[in-house]
């Protein structure tokens, strides 16, 4: 099979393109650790919450990214996507709300508990932002749940199984 000089040039461009992409990826990894990118890293506000057993609960995750076109925010539950761990929808997340704020993009995504349970108390929920500068993550810190009226009625959920 004969190849034309143009085909060879296209192959070289393809290989050159791959090398260029590899250079971008590896130089970006090295660049992450410098002081100049410390201000570019995504940030998430602290997540502290005092849930009430048996009650609806909304936990907003608020953060920002300096990369408006490529920053994403999502929630994990014990390292899995929330809808995978809670396919019934007992816990779900809203769509991400994006707001431009100067040179950064503010992000907010809320985790909604239909009725907070001890299972939820013992699940590690983590808010994640991923962008070209790296990954930011914050885990919810649960403060001791407040007693709800359901708890005093002898609900099976009222007692901590541990």
Condensed to tens digits (0 to 9), the pLDDT of residues 43-82 reads 888 788 889 999 999 999 999 999 988 899 999 999 999 9
Rounded to whole angstroms, the Cα distance separating 40 from 131 reads: 10
| pLDDT of 144 | 80
Alpha helices in 73-139 (DSSP H): 82-85, 118-121
Put simply, whether the predicted model's pTM sits higher than 0.85 gets the answer: no
Gap between the Cα atoms of 120 and 148, Å rounded: 15
| 83-113 tens-digit pLDDT | 999 999 999 999 999 999 888 999 999 999 9
The CATH superfamily holding the domain 40-147 is: Immunoglobulins (2.60.40.10)
Dist. CA 137–CA 44, nearest whole Å? 7
Nearest to 57 by CA among 113, 108, 111: 113
- Any idea what the Cα angle at residue 45 is, between residues 41 and 51, rounded to 5°? 145
* C-beta separation of 94 from 87 below 8 A: no
Task: Report percent pLDDT > 90 for the chain.
Answer: 49
- Say if residue 32 is exposed, middle or buried (CB neighbours under 10 Å; 0-12, 13-18, 19+): middle
Q: What is the mean pLDDT of the chain?
A: 74
């Amino acid at each position: 099979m004969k190849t034309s000089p143009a085909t060879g040039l296209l192959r070289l461009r393809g290989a050159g393109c791959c090398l260029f992409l590899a250079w971008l990826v590896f130089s970006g990894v090295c660049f992450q650790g410098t002081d100049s990118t410390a201000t570019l890293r995504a940030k998430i506000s602290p997540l502290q919450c005092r849930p009430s057993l048996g009650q609806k609960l909304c936990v907003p995750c608020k953060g920002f990214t300096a990369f408006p076109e490529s920053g994403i925010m999502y929630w994990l539950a014990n390292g899995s996507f929330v809808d995978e761990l809670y396919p019934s929808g007992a816990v779900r997340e809203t769509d991400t709300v994006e707001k431009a704020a100067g040179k950064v993009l503010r992000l907010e995504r809320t985790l909604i508990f239909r009725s907070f349970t001890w299972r939820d108390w013992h699940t590690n929920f983590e808010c994640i932002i991923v962008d070209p500068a790296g990954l930011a993550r914050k885990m919810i810190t649960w403060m001791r749940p407040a007693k709800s009226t359901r708890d005093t009625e002898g609900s099976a959920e009222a007692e901590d199984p541990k």
